[in-house]
A and B are shown apart, each in its own frame.
Chain A
């Protein structure tokens, strides 16, 4: 296995109301292997999207990645890159797609021009060859009648078609990593199924690593090799997908599973976690889930590190040390 991305102790801070900085991403560590999919799962405000933006130094101002954070892609120390060197890994080594393709596409240029621009930014080739390549890409992402669509403007396409165009642009520089931040959240389920199929197929044919950012455990179950659950700026549980779904152990993860309505199996009343995620300016002390946790106990007042639940399965909860208390 070859590691294409390593993130260690990533902290992202913003200036707070009282001149103290606060940390919406606070010590995130994970890695990504070639050809594999890692899912970062969490609700709004968990820090998952900011984590993905930090990978390419795209954290919006006045936020910043704190010193001590490590982001490596192979031999490259991403956080040390500036200017041209940074621009070269954006797109070329890491492609990104987002929830809303309309805001990422330029409304006054044709789809073809935008893909060609992406290709020419990374490869030296004649414009005509880039156009030929753009046509192939549209074909690859399953756009019918691609030569006509090349001349279309973004508003002339449906949401699903726009997301396919975004995928084509992200793939145009043949990145080794694709970051997909809620790629299907804005789409209808049948269109979502189409887009996920395209992503699955491309990942397989190109051996790309995928960092999938999502709130939807259903999407994770079908495709991620590993899952990291985020809460309040931290990874609170991480394991191979099958293991995490078979044995969700952090009380927050358990609460998430109990909140998800299901289409199959016996119908039961949902059993959601009470309250809502705290604001990043006010992460609770000790275990950050403590104020909402039905299993909190005296030790929860201390901040837990990632502890081992079973081989290759960690969680940020003291109950890992006392498995008997974590039943049921």
Chain B
């Protein structure tokens, strides 16, 4: 299948382990937050990185921007090897790779007007003559749906949805090509969430932006993502085009995640798969398939407990399951 989006971001074998010195210098086992993850994001494309708390999706997003140093792996941005860059070229490249967070309030300086916060990046990267900056800021505020006169106000004067718009304006100020969106709508009420999702879609269309959209809500992801990668315990367990992942998931974990999304329709059939137990600790992941401790696949056997399944193409997606061809559909699991 031809790729409709030429790649802008290419991540290979990304590993991020967190080491903590145990009490009295005893080394604790590392937390394997990201444990060998590869993906591409095309120009103008949205890849959603989906999974539950602790699966490593946010660590992956921050590490590829080198907000924290990787343990190993490579990240190419427009051909440049981001992990090999020295401080100055990295700073130059940062202009083109931005991030927006779930809680923009914590990333805004409470004593800085939002106009100054948005202008900061323009000044640092000398993207406009000083006299022109107020006009740029006003245009950015307008672009994200805020009144340009708000530039003189302080972060505490805004609602959660407005702050997220401010966070987006600040990211856009340096004219990026790629934005990591780390749970950008998770803390917002549904009507505001919908406004911000529409805004992100419109900005992508107008500016040709690429997004890595990190989220846990598959219904939200469906609105914005071209492709979805599902993470579990630091690894991608399934990846594919959004409609394929939603209509014909091949990894049992994807099936379970989808079944857990509460559908706002009282007449809908509820074939909910309730996974047994808790997520294993990422400092002590199970051997073999990381999902085998909670898996409901009828073919699950000893092989799953010993042999790590590689990601391989299966009917429209790539999935890391030894028995992906025989993964039951939601209806089959629900009916049994």
Residue of B nearest to A270 (CB): B194
Residue of A nearest to B54 (CB): A188
Secondary structure call for the A interface? helix
Task: Report A-chain residues with C-beta under 8 Å of the C-beta of B222.
Answer: 261-263, 267
Query: Roughly how many angstroms separate A235 CA and B126 CA in the complex, as a whole number?
Result: 52
B213-251 with Cβ < 8 A to chain A: 216-220, 222-223, 246
Q: Does B92 contact A (CB under 8 A)?
A: no
Chain A interface size band reads 35 or more
Q: Do A271 and B264 contact each other (CB < 8 Å), given the known contacts A189-B52, A222-B270?
A: no
Query: Roughly how many angstroms separate A242 CA and B264 CA in the complex, as a whole number?
Result: 11
By the criterion CB–CB under 8 Å, are B189 and A43 in contact?
A: yes
A154-168 with Cβ < 8 A to chain B: 158-161
Query: Roughly how many angstroms separate A269 CA and B224 CA in the complex, as a whole number?
Result: 10
Residue of B nearest to A227 (CB): B266
Stretch in B68-76, B97-105, B168-176, B255-263 with 4+ CB within 8 Å of A: B255-263
Count B-side interface residues using an 8 Å CB cutoff: 45
Q: Does B88 contact A (CB under 8 A)?
A: no
CB distance from B29 to the nearest CB of A (A): 18
By the criterion CB–CB under 8 Å, are B264 and A262 in contact?
A: yes
Task: Report B-chain residues with C-beta under 8 Å of the C-beta of A241.
Answer: 266
A165-202 with Cβ < 8 A to chain B: 188-194, 196-197
Most chain A beta-carbon contacts within 10 A, residue among B201, B256, B261, B262: B262
Q: Do A272 and B194 contact each other (CB < 8 Å), given the known contacts A221-B264, A245-B265?
A: yes
Task: Report B-chain residues with C-beta under 8 Å of the C-beta of A159.
Answer: 53
Query: Roughly how many angstroms separate A20 CA and B205 CA in the complex, as a whole number?
Result: 48
Query: Roughly how many angstroms separate A191 CA and B55 CA in the complex, as a whole number?
Result: 14
By the criterion CB–CB under 8 Å, are B262 and A221 in contact?
A: yes
Having A260-B190, A272-B198, one finds 13 other A-B pairs with CB under 8 Å, namely A189-B260, A220-B264, A221-B266, A241-B266, A242-B266, A242-B267, A259-B190, A259-B193, A261-B194, A264-B268, A270-B194, A272-B193, A276-B189
**Can you give 20 contacting A-B residue pairs, CB < 8 Å?**
A144-B277, A158-B279, A160-B278, A189-B260, A192-B262, A194-B274, A217-B190, A219-B262, A220-B264, A221-B266, A259-B193, A260-B219, A260-B264, A261-B219, A262-B222, A263-B219, A272-B193, A272-B195, A276-B159, A276-B191
Binding site for B on A (CB under 8 A): 43-44, 144, 158-161, 188-194, 196-197, 215-222, 241-242, 245, 255-264, 267, 269-274, 276-277
